[in-house]
Structure 1
Amino acid sequence: MSYKRFPNPVRVIARQSQEIIISTAWDALEFLRRWPGSHDRAYRVAFQHCLDALDGIRTPKAAHRSFTAAAREAGILA
């Protein structure tokens, strides 16, 4: 399986102020499964776009954009 590398890594802050670097759609999907924020529209879009990137339906760049937007909206973008 290809992990679909993001164009640039995304730094997010998880629980206990731990900083995590997300560099692939797979990493993003794993982080989204234990998402510290609410499962609002931005979260759901990011989750779907990461799944789509892994399936080859969307580009990793689109998944990166959606994940970054969700992290920013949740206030966990480092």
Structure 2
Amino acid sequence: MSYKSFPNPIRIIIRSSQELIIATAWDAVEFLRNWPACRDRAYRRALQHCLDALDGITSPKKAHAAFADAARQAGILA
């Protein structure tokens, strides 16, 4: 399986002092499984797009955009 690299990494802030770098759709799926915020529509869209990117159904660019949007809405995007 390919990890499907994002066009550029996404920095996430967790616990107000730690940063995490999400560089692939696989990294995003792993992070989404322990999502620290509300699992709203943006979260579900990000999870679906990242899983679809891993399956080759959608592009890593689309998964990247959905994950960044969910992180932004959750207030954890650095």
- In the superposition, the TM-score normalised over structure 1's length comes to 0.97
Q: In structure 1, what is the equivalent of residue 70 of structure 2?
A: 70
Instruction: Report the CA distance between 1:15 and its aligned residue.
Output: 2.9
The C-alpha deviation readout for 1:20-40, integer Å capped at 9, x for no partner, is: 000000000000011100000
| More helix as a share of residues | 1
1:3 maps to a residue whose letter is Y
Instruction: Report the CA distance between 1:51 and its aligned residue.
Output: 0.2
- Unaligned runs of at least 5 residues, structure 1: none
Comparing 10-19 and 43-52, the one that deviates more? 10-19
Alignment of 1:39-58 (within 5 A): 39-58=39-58
1:15–1:36 Cα contact (<8 Å) kept = no
What is the aligned residue count?
78
Q: In structure 2, what is the equivalent of residue 13 of structure 1?
A: 13
